[in-house]
């Protein structure tokens, strides 16, 4: 009787210890899995933050480079505009000088023609030619020669003035064309400022499972012990024991 009880208790204890050990093993595996999952989530969070910070920094550097390039293009535009104005001024001064020289040349020619006409008239008058048709014809001829010469001078001055206007128009057109070409070279690549990346959501830490209660393995061990005792001692094993209302000697 004692041997059956001891063996049943041993089986129950063994079952209880094994059950508790299995529960602890499973619990440890679950805790390890949760810890690994949390560690991977934290590492992924750190990686995402690092990548976002790098991308934001890179976008800022690119935007700064674009701003500098745009500023350089505007500075180049104003510099080119100054050069175009200087060239236009130089060409205008040269064109003015050419017109003045032409006009001065014709003015001297006009004075020379007038002096010739006066000299011709004086020659006719001093020749002692009697007043009459012949003298009148000579004087008229001198006036006609002066008129023709003056008309030629006027035409030359007119042509020079017209050529001056054409040249000045070309100078202004060339300056305008150069200014527009320089203006079209202005870049506006940094028209929109970059925006920061969306904040990376912080991972939610998973809680490790609570340590399971030992009640289950204990009950399982008790059940195993009772089952073993019943198997070895018979169905009436416990009824013959005093703690169940019987006498141990009944089965003796």
Mean pLDDT of 131-160: 70
- 201 assigned to some structural domain: no
What is the CB-side half-sphere exposure of residue 184 using CA atoms within 13 A?
6
The most confident of the ranges 6-10, 16-20, 121-125, 134-138 is 16-20
| Stronger pLDDT, 24 or 92, i.e. the higher one | 92
How many structural domains compose the chain?
Answer: 1
- 202 assigned to some structural domain: no
List the domain range (segments joined by +) for residue 143.
2-187+209-251
- 197 assigned to some structural domain: no
- 199 assigned to some structural domain: no
Interval 40-89: pLDDT, tens: 999 998 998 899 888 888 888 898 999 999 999 999 999 999 999 999 99
Check: CB of residue 206 under 8 Å from CB of residue 38: yes
Check: CB of residue 31 under 8 Å from CB of residue 208: yes
Virtual CA dihedral for 99, 101, 107, 113, nearest 10 degrees? -120
- 192 assigned to some structural domain: no
CA distance 190 to 74: 13
- 193 assigned to some structural domain: no
- 45 assigned to some structural domain: yes
Helix (H) or strand (E) holding 249: none
Considering the chain, what is the average pLDDT of its residues? 78
Q: In the predicted model, is pLDDT for residue 247 greater than 50?
A: no
CA 118 remoteness from chain centre: 83
What is the band of 123 on the pLDDT scale with cuts at 50, 70, 90? low
Helix (H) or strand (E) holding 226: helix 215-233
- 203 assigned to some structural domain: no
pTM for this prediction:
0.51
């Amino acid at each position: 009787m004692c041997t059956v009880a001891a063996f049943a208790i041993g089986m129950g204890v063994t079952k209880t210890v094994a059950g508790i050990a299995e529960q602890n093993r499973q619990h440890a595996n679950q805790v390890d899995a949760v810890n690994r999952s949390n560690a991977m989530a934290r590492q992924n969070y750190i990686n995402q933050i690092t990548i976002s910070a790098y991308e934001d920094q890179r976008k800022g550097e690119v935007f700064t480079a674009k701003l500098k390039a745009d500023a350089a293009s505007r500075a180049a535009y104003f510099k080119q505009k100054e050069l175009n104005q200087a060239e236009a001024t130089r060409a205008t001064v040269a064109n003015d000088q050419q017109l003045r020289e032409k006009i001065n040349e014709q003015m001297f020619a006009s004075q020379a023609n007038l002096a010739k006409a006066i000299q011709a008239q004086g020659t006719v008058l001093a020749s002692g030619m009697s007043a009459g048709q012949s003298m009148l014809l000579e004087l008229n001829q001198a006036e006609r020669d002066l008129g023709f010469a003056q008309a030629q001078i006027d035409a030359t001055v007119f042509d020079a003035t017209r050529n001056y206007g054409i040249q000045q128009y070309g100078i202004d057109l060339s300056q305008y064309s150069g200014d527009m070409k320089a203006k079209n070279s202005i870049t506006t690549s940094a028209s929109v400022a970059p925006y920061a990346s969306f904040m990376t959501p912080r991972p939610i830490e998973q809680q490790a499972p609570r340590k399971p209660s030992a009640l289950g393995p204990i009950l399982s061990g008790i059940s195993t012990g009772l089952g073993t005792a019943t198997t070895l001692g018979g169905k009436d094993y416990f009824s013959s024991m005093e703690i169940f209302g019987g006498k141990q000697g009944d089965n003796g």
